[in-house]
Amino acid sequence: MAANKDSNLYKFESNQEVKEIDVSKKVRVGIIGTGWIAESHIAGYKKQPDVEVVALADLIPGKAEKFKATHGVDGATCYEGENAHLKMIEAEKLDAVSVCTYNRAHTVCTIDALKHGLDVMLEKPMCVTMEEAVAIRKAEKETGKFVSVGFQPRYDARLMQLKEIVNSGVLGKIYYIQTGAGRRHGIPTPFGTTFIEDKTAGLGALADIGCYSLDLVLSAIGYPKPLTVSGHRCDYFGKKSSYYKNPDHPEYADLFSVDDFASAYIRMEDDIILDFRIAWAMHMDTMGDHIILGTEAGIRIPADGSELIVYSDMGNNRVKTVVPKAPDLPYTPFEGKLRAFIDAVKTGGPAPIPTSEIIYNQAIISGIAESCKQGKEIVIDIPEI
């Protein structure tokens, strides 16, 4: 970013765009939930010349104050306790909030912010249940404010390249997608138990990293509507106390009350099949690459982050094209997502990563949990809002 002192404007440049940022009016932001991911929000907002983080709220007494001191959020007012987010929203003159709480608190904080006339940067996953997703969508409609959901890979150069290739139509009719991810030993416990307890997280690997795999392929192909899902979840690693010998927390096995693995077969509109699997821990090195098959070409999105590969025919020849690496962007994906959100706040929307798309992501995740509970394929019901 470069300053233009004469005009009070900043330039935000990339190979994709050159944007002038008007810094004459600052966007006043509050952060709800000052845990781990809030650190990335404050770091990203500090780089935006037209943003002031003026308030911080966390349930846990003293946590917001400590965050303020650690991250030098000068001048911010801190709120704590049960209704910290409401106290903050009511006392401060804010334009927007970042909701950085654990999943189970996403909905209440988001809806309260919308009802107080604020736009919301909501961390992923959108929420836990379909009822919550519908309530968020309704609150947006009633208030005229918007929610943008925090999928920063949307601002990753390689995934922008993927979308461009799909949009070019080179794949023909898309009929099959394989997506997912897997960690060898990656149940997220280094900062405590908020990811592994049902009362805070609601869902495990399925929602935590599964939502990314789903967004990666579905945003590339324009988010077709999911119709049915046959899903499965399990917790073989999370419930095993020996898993936690390193880092030495055997009691986590008793607290573990979400999933560490999920898989599903999803039918989508336009006769598209989605094959999905996700793991926080597994006895395997990789769950494989993401692939999208079309009638004219197929594309491989390697799980190791290497170049995209397109497979097609030229005459009677089977051709494999390694797509040259996309040029690096001058901002991180996380900064890209915050910048797009702030731009939307200033123009009154629309949301850069809208809930009209992400409700389909949530419908799949919640549908997998429900299908697993019922032990059969279920129809996905997404009410019109």
Ligand X SMILES: NC(=O)c1ccc[n+]([C@@H]2O[C@H](COP(=O)([O-])OP(=O)(O)OC[C@H]3O[C@@H](n4cnc5c(N)ncnc54)[C@H](O)[C@@H]3O)[C@@H](O)[C@H]2O)c1
By CB under 6 A, name the binding residues for ligand X.
32-38, 57-60, 63, 84-85, 100-103, 105, 109, 123-124, 150, 152, 191, 194, 208
Other beta carbons less than 10 A from residue 225's beta carbon: 13
Which C-beta is closer to ligand X: that of 148 or that of 152?
A: 152
Which C-beta is closer to ligand X: that of 106 or that of 300?
A: 106
Q: How far is the CB of 14 from ligand X (least distance, A)?
A: 20
Which C-beta is closer to ligand X: that of 109 or that of 368?
A: 109
Which C-beta is closer to ligand X: that of 171 or that of 344?
A: 344
Strands 27-32 and 51-58: parallel
Amino acid of residue 140: E
Which C-beta is closer to ligand X: that of 36 or that of 311?
A: 36
Interatomic CA distance for residues 222 and 199, integer angstroms: 33
Closest CA to 91 of 63, 122, 57, 121: 57
Q: How far is the CB of 379 from ligand X (least distance, A)?
A: 27
Q: How far is the CB of 42 from ligand X (least distance, A)?
A: 12
Residue number closest to ligand X, CB atom: 35
Other beta carbons less than 10 A from residue 47's beta carbon: 15
Which C-beta is closer to ligand X: that of 200 or that of 312?
A: 200
Q: How far is the CB of 194 from ligand X (least distance, A)?
A: 3
* Whole-number Cα distances in Å, 243 to 240, 257, 296: 6, 15, 45
Q: How far is the CB of 294 from ligand X (least distance, A)?
A: 30
In the chain, the N- to C-terminal Cα span, in Å, equals 39
Q: How far is the CB of 248 from ligand X (least distance, A)?
A: 20
Q: How many CA atoms lie within 13 A of 379 on its CB side?
A: 3
Q: How far is the CB of 56 from ligand X (least distance, A)?
A: 9
Q: Considering Cα of 255, then 260, then 264, then 270, what sign does the dihedral take?
A: positive
C-alpha dihedral, 243 to 240 to 369 to 153, nearest 10°: 0
Strands 9-13 and 18-22: antiparallel
Interatomic CA distance for residues 311 and 293, integer angstroms: 9
Which C-beta is closer to ligand X: that of 156 or that of 174?
A: 156
